[in-house]
Amino acid sequence: MGIVHRLYHGETAFPLIARRRRFYAVSIALCVIALGSLIFRGFNLGVEFKGGAIFTVSAPSSVDLHDTRTFVESLGVNEPIVQTVKTSTGQTKVRIESAPLTQAEEQKVVEGLASHFKVDANSIDSRDVGASWGKQVTRKALQGLVAFLIAVILFISVRFEPKMAAAAIIALVHDLLLAAGIYSITQFVVTPSTIIALLTVLGYSLYDTIVVFDRVDENTKGIERGNKSTYSEAAELAVNQTFMRSFNTSLIALLPVSGLLFVGALLLKAGTLKDLALALFVGLGAGAYSSLFLATPLLADLKEREPRFVALQGRVAQRRSGAAAPVRLSQRSTNAAEGEAVESAPVATATATAVRRTGAPPAKRKPKGSRPTGKKRKR
């Protein structure tokens, strides 16, 4: 409660905008790593995007995926993707994805799986997926992304201003690039669930940025007519006022996603959850970071190039330098008073010495021209 109160009222602050160059360097380094992985490693595309065959077979809950993968490879399938999925009834099934196979090769795999898992061959679901379906999903996703970005630019430009829209779009691209880079670095399989998760991240990242921008807009309204603080200082206050809110919102959003990723995917071995949860986890974390550490500092840099805010900086600096002058004058008066005290110090020292030697204070010196006030002694 104490830190939240002090942040909101500007009594304490995290210097996010004052140290924005450090955060720029961190973001640029992460984006370069992600972009390099995308160029040199690429994505591990699922069968929905590159085409192939999918086999689904019922299996015991304690199935060993490594042994299953080795067995499928012995049937002549190169680099199969083997994972477990949970049905709505709680039944465990093994899903096997492979490159395109001929009809004879598919039949061989079906018979081998039936023998390995001791099930009827007719209960095994096998189907072919063409690459055209994945291309169609990608095209639709890109169309939706472009339409979303246009709508975002128009809304922020009308509700706030174009420079806020530019800062928000840069932060949005930053979040998408980091999420895509994580998939490229880890070589997690990219599925339609991944595309859905990335589009979900866009909305959350934008929401967090708009919350901060709304506070910035309130704090900087009419600030160019005064001389108390610069645009960066007012934006710094806005970021600190919304810091705890953004942190708490991001934490609450990441908790269930963490459950999907670590419990569902890693402990329960539900591979389809991993495709969705990883993109959400990385995207939500990157969105919380970019809204505070990237979007608002970028906005402050863009705004302080405007002539009115350059003039504001000059007025603020002049006001603060003028406020320091009375301090110097009062210091001079204090020094003078200290000088008078120093000059009277020798007199006090001499008096104290006389008292120690004679046992009585020295007689007061009569002023010149004074007469005794007592009676005259008779002769």
> What integer is the mean pLDDT of 300-306?
91
Dihedral of CA 15/20/23/25: which sign? negative
Q: Helices 192-219 and 296-303: crossing angle, nearest 10°?
A: 50
The domains of the chain are located at 2-45+133-318, 52-129
The CA distance from 283 to 180, in Å, is 9
**CB under 8 Å to 323, separation ≥6 — which residues?**
none
Residue-wise pLDDT for 134-156, tens only, equals: 778 778 878 888 888 898 899 99
The CA distance from 376 to 379, in Å, is 9
Lowest-pLDDT range of 134-138, 319-323, 324-328: 324-328
| pLDDT score for 44 | 84
Residue-wise pLDDT for 90-139, tens only, equals: 677 888 888 888 888 888 888 888 888 888 888 888 888 776 667 787 78
**What pTM, to 2 d.p., does this model score?**
0.71
Residue-wise pLDDT for 15-55, tens only, equals: 888 889 999 999 999 999 999 999 998 888 877 787 888 88
Lowest-pLDDT range of 87-101, 197-211, 331-345: 331-345
**Structure-token pair, residue 75:** 């049937």
Identify which has the larger pLDDT, 245 or 335: 245
The CA distance from 256 to 342, in Å, is 72
Q: Examine the pLDDT at 208 and tell me if it is beyond 80.
A: yes
Contact 46, 190 (CB under 8 A): yes
Please give, one letter per residue, the 3-state secondary structure of the chain: CHHHHHHHCCCCCCCCCCCHHHHHHHHHHHHHHHHHHHHHCCCEECHHHHCEEEEEEECCCCCCHHHHHHHHHHCCCCCCEEEEEECCCCCEEEEEEECCCCHHHHHHHHHHHHHHHCCCHHHCEEEEECHHHHHHHHHHHHHHHHHHHHHHHHHHHHHCCHHHHHHHHHHHHHHHHHHHHHHHHHCCEECHHHHHHHHHHHHHHHHHHHHHHHHHHHHCCCHHHCCCCCHHHHHHHHHHHHHHHHHHHHHHHHHHHHHHHHHHHHHCCEHHHHHHHHHHHHHHHHHHHHHHHHHHHHHHHHHCCCHHHHHHHHHHHHHHHHHCHHHHHHHHHHHHHHHHHHHHHHHHHHHHHHHHHHCCCCCCCCCCCCCCCCCCCCC
CB atoms within 10 A of CB 189: 21
Contact 260, 280 (CB under 8 A): yes
Task: Give how far Cα 82 sits from Cα of 67, 93, 150, 160, 342, Å.
Answer: 10, 11, 39, 49, 91
- For the chain, state the CA radius of gyration: 38
What is the rounded average pLDDT for all residues in the chain?
A: 78
2-45+133-318 domain in CATH 1.20.1640.10?
yes
CATH class of the structural domain 52-129: alpha beta
